[in-house]
Chains A and B, each alone.
Chain A
């Protein structure tokens, strides 16, 4: 009978959780934010998100097939990266060149190039070159977004040529984002804080609706995919900074300023879905709190005193780099070890 049995080490039973289940839960949690993006930005959003997701899976597959002959796209992690990247991009539909409407070849090509190049950078450069899943040192989707912002600054920070399916305020279609308006003069014209919370504003596809993101975040916490620490401490730190900034500003205390800061930019998406990335966030609760507070401080500093209107992506990337250090200094006290 010796060849009839598996003789492996204990434990002999395992939980039903698998990597792909966890990733599937992340995808489910992203559905509300994705749908709001589709609703507000229409076909352009569908195009951008689909293109980035499919190309991320494709690059993972082709890279692994070429180098190892095996592929791990079934763990859904590449799909999550592609989806997150898509949600971090402005919606853009390719339009045929037309001299009369000042639409050039570039306008036609960029909506293709940006999601595809972004996915290639995220999957090949940030993820696979460092050893694939579990070994990347920064969040692939965010690193790709940073890469795209630097490479295609115009495309990445304007939201022109987009016809919203629905909007309570028409200004969003042509104007800057709320964060941009605050940076440029401090006054937000058009969308209310409620618009920012619900999502009828300009911005990246997935970041506009704080409500939808919070719903997704609650799902992740209930399903125990993430703990509440990183989102709560991250957003909380930003809130404290913004309250202080508002208190000491020349315009006096303004609650709507804080509302815009919390719901008007990429903070919600970043705090719930980006900063909580397993690989690039600390292990222990203490570590997570340090990490999240660090993200909050850097975000606030970039927004308040930096040159960029938005600082969430850079804050998370910078803190990603500090994770090994945080882990080293937050080794938990072992049971029975002297206090």
Chain B
């Protein structure tokens, strides 16, 4: 069978062998936890509790009236210590609710719901109420993504199991260990889009995940009497970065290009992350809001690399120490994947809904090198999945030539980092492009 893929892209070392065979380990927080009021794109939540209040597991403790937002819930039981500005994984200080964990994990009543007897609006409301956001990294509220203006036209629900970033294995493990939940989560979405195909796309470097998902889908199709069961399938993707980038994934599976400045729904597609789908499963079949996620801890400086299921709000430091990460010896500590993640200057941060991984990298894993002049070798042009000219954009960005930057389609850059990765002169191409994109976006908002 031919594999689904897109044009160009790169082949970095997978570096997944650290953790791909490590079973998901469930760990409980030791100390206080911090629930950030902003764990998504959109308006931050307002606290619904005050210091001194007692909270329970699953209790909604922050919400917002704004449309683009998602509530947050306590992942432990205990007393609210304080509400203060704390360091957020994005690097700035934001409001968080610090809860003294009593270690009892007393829960509010959480009642499973049958999504198949609910209508679309009820399902969307439940997804919002469960605080579910895109857990691949962006954190866009899922109830909005699943409610595009052209809902009737959507013909593809794509579940992103590509996990194309090196090191990351949390989606891989979830597909292996929580296979049925992925299928059930997808069935809830398909229930809202009965005409759409539900395609789970997985890179072919995870043959065990492909096999497991295919079996689970076949089993579901046999046993379920739902009409939409027959719409499900698994697609084998070529292993290539950035296969899991939304636009590239849509192209790989449907051969449709999301037009510049448009959204996946404009080509009748919706893409959801694996962990997000599992969160949807939990929201309905177990009645539980989003309170935990799977985090890959990896890199040469982690003694026990692995995939850890942890409660939201536990600190990075606690998780790193649990896995035997050598913080002091690491050259770089990254939240997210090595291609698009963020380097951290502190590990005293809480895990949020979008924290997919923590990497402690040594110098020899990075090949950084000193920046040299561009020799116009064109390797960036050969790899850019958006078919841009990164070397020219880099030059325009550094010369502050914003008009030319836009004329050369710089705003279409998805910041996947392929150009910087291949650059033999080790130029910080993405850094220059990203800065200029941010500047132009800020100017447009004025």
Say whether A and B bind each other. Answer: yes
Give the B-binding residues of A (Cβ under 8 A): 1-2, 4-19, 21-22, 72, 75, 77, 132-135, 227, 278-279, 283-284, 331-338
Contact among A4, A12, A336, A338 for B361, CB-based, below 8 A:
A12
Question: Do the beta carbons of A19 and B375 come within 8 Å of each other?
Answer: yes
Q: Which residues of A contact B343 (CB under 8 A)?
A: 5-10, 12
Mark out the residues of chain B between 206 and 234 whose CB falls within 8 Å of any chain A CB in the assembled complex.
Answer: none
Question: What's the interface size class on B, roughly?
Answer: 35 or more
Question: Do the beta carbons of A16 and B367 come within 8 Å of each other?
Answer: yes
Question: Do the beta carbons of B376 and A5 come within 8 Å of each other?
Answer: no
**Given the complex of chains A and B, what is the CA–CA distance between A105 and B375 in angstroms?**
42
Question: Do the beta carbons of A9 and B428 come within 8 Å of each other?
Answer: yes
**Which 6 pairs show the lowest CB-CB distances between chains A and B?**
A11-B417, A9-B431, A334-B409, A14-B367, A134-B373, A17-B424
Question: Do the beta carbons of B381 and A18 come within 8 Å of each other?
Answer: no
Question: Do the beta carbons of A134 and B375 come within 8 Å of each other?
Answer: yes
Asked if A19 meets B424 with Cβ closer than 8 Å, knowing A13-B12, A331-B389, the reply is: yes
Task: Encode contact with A along B328-365: 1 for CB under 8 Å, 0 otherwise.
Answer: 10111110001111111111000000000001010001
29 interchain pairs, CB-CB under 8 A? A2-B346, A4-B328, A6-B332, A7-B344, A9-B434, A10-B417, A10-B420, A11-B338, A12-B341, A12-B359, A12-B366, A13-B13, A14-B368, A15-B10, A17-B422, A17-B424, A18-B424, A18-B425, A18-B426, A19-B424, A22-B377, A132-B373, A134-B376, A283-B376, A283-B378, A283-B381, A332-B389, A335-B251, A336-B386
Question: Do the beta carbons of A335 and B428 come within 8 Å of each other?
Answer: no
Question: Do the beta carbons of B423 and A14 come within 8 Å of each other?
Answer: yes
**Given the complex of chains A and B, what is the CA–CA distance between A14 and B347 in angstroms?**
24
Mark out the residues of chain B between 355 and 408 whose CB falls within 8 Å of any chain A CB in the assembled complex.
Answer: 359, 361, 365-369, 372-379, 381-382, 385-389, 391-392, 408
Question: Do the beta carbons of A19 and B367 come within 8 Å of each other?
Answer: no
Question: Do the beta carbons of B377 and A11 come within 8 Å of each other?
Answer: no
Say how far B266's CB is from chain A's closest CB, in angstroms.
Answer: 10
Residue of B nearest to A334 (CB): B409
Question: Do the beta carbons of B417 and A1 come within 8 Å of each other?
Answer: no
Asked if A13 meets B412 with Cβ closer than 8 Å, knowing A8-B431, A134-B376, the reply is: no
Say how far B202's CB is from chain A's closest CB, in angstroms.
Answer: 23
Q: Which residues of B contact A13 (CB under 8 A)?
A: 12-13, 166, 338-339, 361, 365-367, 421
**Given the complex of chains A and B, what is the CA–CA distance between A4 and B333 in angstroms?**
10
Residue of B nearest to A14 (CB): B367
Question: Do the beta carbons of A336 and B408 come within 8 Å of each other?
Answer: no
Task: Encode contact with A along B158-186: 1 for CB under 8 Å, 0 otherwise.
Answer: 00000000100000000000000000000
**Given the complex of chains A and B, what is the CA–CA distance between A72 and B375 in angstroms?**
13
Give the A-binding residues of B (Cβ under 8 A): 10, 12-13, 166, 247, 251, 257-260, 262, 327-328, 330-334, 338-347, 359, 361, 365-369, 372-379, 381-382, 385-389, 391-392, 408-409, 412, 415, 417, 420-426, 428, 430-431, 434
Question: Do the beta carbons of A17 and B379 come within 8 Å of each other?
Answer: yes
**Given the complex of chains A and B, what is the CA–CA distance between A338 and B333 in angstroms?**
40
Q: Which residues of B contact A14 (CB under 8 A)?
A: 366-369, 420-421, 423, 426
Say how far A52's CB is from chain B's closest CB, in angstroms.
Answer: 21
Question: Do the beta carbons of B344 and A5 come within 8 Å of each other?
Answer: yes
Question: Do the beta carbons of B434 and A334 come within 8 Å of each other?
Answer: no
Question: Do the beta carbons of A21 and B259 come within 8 Å of each other?
Answer: no
**Given the complex of chains A and B, what is the CA–CA distance between A289 and B388 in angstroms?**
18
Question: Do the beta carbons of A337 and B381 come within 8 Å of each other?
Answer: no
Q: Which residues of A contact B381 (CB under 8 A)?
A: 283-284, 332
Asked if A15 meets B344 with Cβ closer than 8 Å, knowing A9-B430, A135-B373, A278-B377, the reply is: no
Q: Which residues of B contact A19 (CB under 8 A)?
A: 372, 375, 424-425
**Given the complex of chains A and B, what is the CA–CA distance between A126 and B374 in angstroms?**
17
Question: Do the beta carbons of B417 and A335 come within 8 Å of each other?
Answer: no
Question: Do the beta carbons of B262 and A278 come within 8 Å of each other?
Answer: no
Q: Which residues of B contact A331 (CB under 8 A)?
A: 389, 408
Question: Do the beta carbons of A5 and B333 come within 8 Å of each other?
Answer: yes
Q: A13-B338, A133-B375, A337-B409 are in contact. List 6 more A-B contacts (CB 8 A).
A: A1-B346, A7-B332, A10-B341, A12-B359, A13-B366, A279-B375
Residue of B nearest to A279 (CB): B376
**Given the complex of chains A and B, what is the CA–CA distance between A337 and B411 in angstroms?**
12
Residue of A nearest to B386 (CB): A335
Question: Do the beta carbons of B376 and A10 come within 8 Å of each other?
Answer: no
Question: Do the beta carbons of A10 and B339 come within 8 Å of each other?
Answer: yes
Residue of B nearest to A72 (CB): B372
Contact among B369, B391, B420 for A11, CB-based, below 8 A:
B420
Question: Do the beta carbons of B330 and A336 come within 8 Å of each other?
Answer: no
Question: Do the beta carbons of B417 and A334 come within 8 Å of each other?
Answer: no
Contact among A16, A278, A332 for B375, CB-based, below 8 A:
A278
